[in-house]
Amino acid sequence: MQSSEAETIIRVENVSKNFGDFQALKSVSLDVSLGERVVICGPSGSGKSTLIRCINGLEEHESGDIVVDGVTLSQSATSLRDIKARVGMVFQQFNLFPHLTVLENLTLGPIRARKMSKPDADALAMKYLERVRIPEQAAKYPPQLSGGQQQRVAIARSLCMEPKIMLFDEPTSALDPEMINEVLEVMAELATSGMTMICVTHETGFARRVADKMVFMDYGEIVEMAEPEKFFTSPDSQRCRDFLDKILHH
Amino acid sequence: MNKLIISAALVLLLAGCSGNWGWYVVNPTTEGGMINLKFLISGLYYTILLSVTAISISIVVGLIIALPALSKNRYMRGINRFYVEIVRAVPILVLILWVYYGMPQLAGIAINVFWAGVIALALSDSAFEAEIFRAGIQSVNKGQYEAAHTISLNYPDTMRFVILPQAIRRVLPALGNQLVYMLKMSSLVSVIGMQELTRKANELVVTEYRPLEVYTILVLEYLVLILVVSAGVRWLENRMKTDERG
């Protein structure tokens, strides 16, 4: 649990975003402290993915401010570069590079963007592959791995850029049920190590165990924001209660 | 290999089917026939050199022309469309004549037959290459760009290490097609006097007056050449496939 005076590392202020006529985000504000673990949930189309995609510049927000570790996000090249260097992201569909080996997937960023030497990058990659517990797969190609292994490679690939913040966009939604836990384990370990994380996920067990702050979004707005204990037992809003009923009792 | 044997069998079959054939013009056991045969085959050098040079240039130009088509800026996309539509609309033979006879007047420089042929073929083919690359690049999942974004790759690195290797693998069959097409279209450069396969055959027909036999040999020359190229492209495809799947 973070104390309120902890350093704010992400500040999202009145951010709005439209896709044509569809308002994906309606003046959303969210502060995240250094080391804080935030879990965002909500029905599909509620804007949760859009919100985290705005934070690392994958989507361009139309109004409001996003400040990450002192850098204000704009479409200028330097701002984007500085934000990208600070924020890692893991996708629902893994998005590994299928034509590169696992090791090459991991070292591409360090070598090309961080200008590391190949031996240094290899060593770094092996360190993180060990952390996600699949060093023996280094020479394989992503399509040869199981979904859970691929997602762990994707996490390791992000970590190789040594980001200050990790974003997870429904990291277990594309996985077979028996593979979800191995990914959540790795994420929980990462949380223990003090990484600042924002996870979009409906894995309530993981959320209860790891989250410092739960956020519920619906129709492009943050409807509920609370500590997990309060969030799961007595949320203020009816919409959040309805949603939790749906995902908890089945 | 089987195909080569079948081709050879075809020659023997044709040889026996009528008394009107005069295979002596290309009979390798006679001195004259051997000279004629060597003369015909000597065209291979320029056919291959011309096609390979032209396709190398057209692949590079095609790629450069394809990139603005992927831009968000509509003027950039306009440049691509303009080039593709114009170049694609000119017949290759017309382009060869225009480059060879027109360019010296236009630019005031004499251009030799070889480079006129290369320029015309490369220019014509580049529009098609551009469309092939555009299709290949657009077929790569958006998530690949996003992953490249999150590991801080810049645009040139994203294209070079992430997008193009995948796109090229997918368009390899189409690129192989273009190479075959180019080998065949290089025969048109014979009209401006390029000493390639077709030109050699034409010249021999004029001196020997045996068009049926000479052109049959010409057909077989292209057939063998293109079967070899096809096999090469297929080999490359298989090799790249195993790269990806192990």
The alpha-carbon gap from B132 to the nearest alpha carbon of chain A, in Å, equals 20
Look at residue A118 in the predicted model and tell me its pLDDT: 96
Look at residue B13 in the predicted model and tell me its pLDDT: 66
Task: Spell out which residues of chain A touch residue B237, defining contact as CB-CB under 8 Å.
Answer: none
Where are the domains positioned within chain B? 2-245
Tokens 């050699």, located at residue: B200
Domain B2-245 sits in CATH 3.90.1410.10: no
* Inter-chain CB proximity B153 and A95 less than 8 Å: no
Average pLDDT for consecutive 10-residue bins of chain A (250 residues)?
A: 69 94 93 96 93 94 93 88 94 96 97 96 96 94 95 97 96 93 95 95 93 95 94 92 84
Pick one of 3.40.50.300, 1.10.3720.10, 3.40.605.10, 3.30.110.30 as the CATH number of A8-96+166-248: 3.40.50.300
Strand A71-72 and strand A63-68: the pairing is antiparallel
Listed residue (B95, B165, B175) closest to B137, CA to CA? B165
Q: Judged by CB atoms within 8 Å, which residues 124-143 of A form the interface with B?
A: 140-141, 143
Look at residue A248 in the predicted model and tell me its pLDDT: 82
Q: DSSP string spanning B76-123?
A: HHHHHHHHHHHHHHS-HHHHHHIIIIIHHHHHS----HHHHHHHHHHH
Q: Is the ipTM of this complex over 0.90?
A: yes
- Nearest CB partner across the interface for B152, out of A58, A99, A113: A113
Task: Spell out which residues of chain B touch residue A81, defining contact as CB-CB under 8 Å.
Answer: 152
A139/A154 Cα distance (integer angstroms)? 15
Look at residue A5 in the predicted model and tell me its pLDDT: 58
Where are the domains positioned within chain A? 8-96+166-248
Asked if A128 and A106 touch (Cβ cutoff 8 Å), the reply is yes
* Inter-chain CB proximity A99 and B149 less than 8 Å: no
Average pLDDT for consecutive 10-residue bins of chain B (246 residues)?
A: 75 62 85 91 94 96 93 92 95 94 86 94 96 95 96 94 94 93 95 93 92 93 94 89 54
Look at residue B68 in the predicted model and tell me its pLDDT: 92
Task: Spell out which residues of chain B touch residue A77, defining contact as CB-CB under 8 Å.
Answer: none
Own/partner pairs for B62-65, CB < 8 Å, 24+ apart? B62/B125, B62/B126, B62/B127, B62/B128, B62/B129, B62/B130, B62/B132, B62/B133, B63/B129, B63/B130, B63/B133, B65/B126, B65/B127, B65/B129, B65/B130
Task: Spell out which residues of chain A touch residue B162, defining contact as CB-CB under 8 Å.
Answer: 97, 108
SS (H, E, C) B15-80: HHCCCCCCHHHHCCCCHHHHHHHHHHHCCHHHHHHHHHHHHHHHHHHHHHHHHHHCCCCHHHHHHH
* Inter-chain CB proximity B146 and A58 less than 8 Å: yes
Look at residue A2 in the predicted model and tell me its pLDDT: 47
